[in-house]
Amino acid sequence: MRLSRYFLPTIKENPSEAQIASHRLMLRAGMIRQGAAGIYSWLPLGLRVLKKIENIVREEQNRAGALEVLMPTIQSSELWEESGRYDDYGKEMLRIEDRHGRNMLFGPTNEEMITDIFRREIHSYKDLPKNLYHIQWKFRDEIRPRFGVMRGREFLMKDAYSFDLTPEEGVNSYNAMFVAYLRTFARLGLKAIPMRADTGPIGGDLSHEFLVIAETGESEVFFHKDFEGMESLVDFPADAEGLQAIVNEWTTPYAATEEMHSEDDCPVEGNNLIRGRGIEVGHIFFFGDKYSKPMKASVQGPEGEMLNVQMGSYGVGVSRLVGGIIEACHDENGIVWPEAVAPFKIGLMNLGAKNEECTAFCDVLYAELEEAGIEVLFDDTKDGAGAKFKNMDLIGLPWQVAVGPRGLKNGVVELKNRKTGEKEELTKEALLAKFTA
């Protein structure tokens, strides 16, 4: 993509309304713009990142055996009244009345709707287990939306819902999602630590939050230093024993949020306990028949008896992850994207826009990189070299290629690694070989 044809409205100064790094940098890098309090438009650069995160989340859900559906954003109040949550949910739920006077709502979550779909279509234990998920926009009317996409009112969420015949099989589905989450965050370039969590209004007695450690995290967390050496891109096991073994490995070391931690009762001593800040990026629940029982979501068992299905729900804040990754991956100059989610892999800069030889060389290099399937943002503008370097550091592409008249005389271009700052001079052939090997 040529920058001269792109829509990338960057900002030089920090916006006064932004309190945390991700909000400041997403505004400055031209990724989002606010439409109303806690509601944002995603501009081209931000949308590319959002879609890459969404695709990784989708791939790992599919790998875990979940099946994708798509449920509507607007729901009828009847299902929520049936489950008993319509009046309990609070003012975070945006309640709507349609033209016929029927009570509707902008869905904050989908347990009721997915349960209704299930009970209408599945009636026998032979059709279990099932895990259905969707990636859809949600709305929760936060009393004080803040921190950009980290705590907005409208957000993109992945919700999965498992249905099993027995509690034991339900826990196995829970474990599969636990492992899928480890893999998802590892592929996104993050180390997410699972911590036992309060189930809140979702219900049930088995729940884990996945938190990414970042200096600017919302909550204080405490965890054993063993987590730092654990590899989270685990192979996905084919059996229940393998799943349980991974879950055991990741839940044996101590980890707790501030609310769950007690200094007096903490089992970890001395330097083995690490104190840090965490950002919640995923939350999973197993709640048995909390919804299936009142909503009569039952199936016929092997002996002919009717059994309430065992359910779990599994959420990942897809749009929130954009902010979470930036909080964990930035420096004083801007964003430092992990390669898996970077909007472009290479930022190509023509430092001699008025030099015909330099421009011709850049045009050829850009075409060859594109032909090789490498995502390139080509700064072909007439801005000065200093402005180009600052802009590339701000938007945080993993690699920067600078082409200038002086280097071309020696037949080389400069390649910079955005994360490490390391630079090297390469011929065009060596550069192409490096990225197409």
Once rounded to an integer, what is the mean pLDDT over residues 378-403?
A: 97
Pick the CATH number of 346-436 from 3.40.605.10, 3.40.50.800, 2.170.130.10, 1.10.10.10: 3.40.50.800
Alpha-carbon distance of 344 to 328, in angstroms, equals 19
Angle (CA) 279-107-81 rounded to 5° is 120
* Proportion of the chain above pLDDT 90, given as a percent: 83
Alpha-carbon distance of 167 to 307, in angstroms, equals 11
Once rounded to an integer, what is the mean pLDDT over residues 330-351?
A: 97
Sheet of 94-97: strand order equals: 74-76, 103-106, 94-97
Angle (CA) 175-165-176 rounded to 5° is 15
Q: How confident is the model at residue 35 (pLDDT cuts 50, 70, 90)?
A: very high
CATH of domain 3-335: 3.30.930.10
Residue with tokens 């989450």: 181
pLDDT for position 198: 65
Q: How confident is the model at residue 202 (pLDDT cuts 50, 70, 90)?
A: low
Once rounded to an integer, what is the mean pLDDT over residues 226-237?
A: 92
- Compute φ and ψ for 161, nearest 5 degrees: -135, 125
Q: Is 80 exceeded by the pLDDT of residue 200? A: no
Once rounded to an integer, what is the mean pLDDT over residues 181-199?
A: 89
Strand ranges (E), 306-427? 306-308, 310-317, 330-331, 334-335, 346-350, 376-379, 399-403, 413-417, 423-426
Once rounded to an integer, what is the mean pLDDT over residues 234-251?
A: 94
Q: Are 211 and 328 in contact (CB under 8 A)?
A: no
Strand ranges (E), 260-368? 273-288, 298-300, 306-308, 310-317, 330-331, 334-335, 346-350
pTM of this structure: 0.94
Tell me the pLDDT of the chain averaged across its residues: 94
Query: What residues does each domain of the chain span?
Result: 3-335, 346-436
